Amino acid sequence: GGRAVAIEADVTDHAAIARAFDAAEKAFGTVTILVNNAGIAHGGRAVEMPPEEWRKVLSTNLDAVFFWAQEAARRLLAAKKQGAIVNIASVLGLAVSKGAVAYAAAKAGVVQVTKALAVELAFKGVRVNAIAPGWFVTEMNDDYLSSEAGAAIKREIPMGRFGNSGDLDGALLLLVSDAGSYITGATVVVDGGQVVQIKG
């Protein structure tokens, strides 16, 4: 029963950000919910990472999160409306593994950007939170998680499985709805218990 429009945009292009919000506002009015979900990954040893790969990952996974949130916040404040911004971080922003230095650094930055924006915007009724997913099978990692390395990762997850497509729904709906009206600056971990597991 809902209505949607598809708007193409390069998340790293400042002009494209403004055009996307303009198009969304034309269709629906002020954007009151923003989910920053775009991301890329780069695997490999830190000592072998080219500068351009570092910059590409940080630009997409951290810079874009800030600038899209900034644009949403500016428009919400101008319209004197309340809203919710949810940034998709990662458990790798809270704990690290080998071969993910740029991704982990960017996602840790997302957690801190979320907190800083939450503090600045709370008084205007704009809530900013993050979700830190664990291992979910996506197009980006399907081959890796289907390998023996993926099987080893699965064995380390207390729930014994990777995340399914609907496993983020509860956290997301909480953070954008009135049920989460007193939550801001939080990072909700959705990882099947992997990060909190104590190794013997």
Residues labelled as active-site residues: 103
Dihedral in degrees, nearest 10, Cα atoms 188, 189, 190, 192: -150
Element (H, E) at 118: helix 101-121
CB-based contacts of 180, cutoff 8 Å, min separation 6: 84, 127, 129, 174
> How far is it, in rounded angstroms, from Cα 145 to Cα 141?
6
Cα angle 197, 62, 3; round to 5: 95
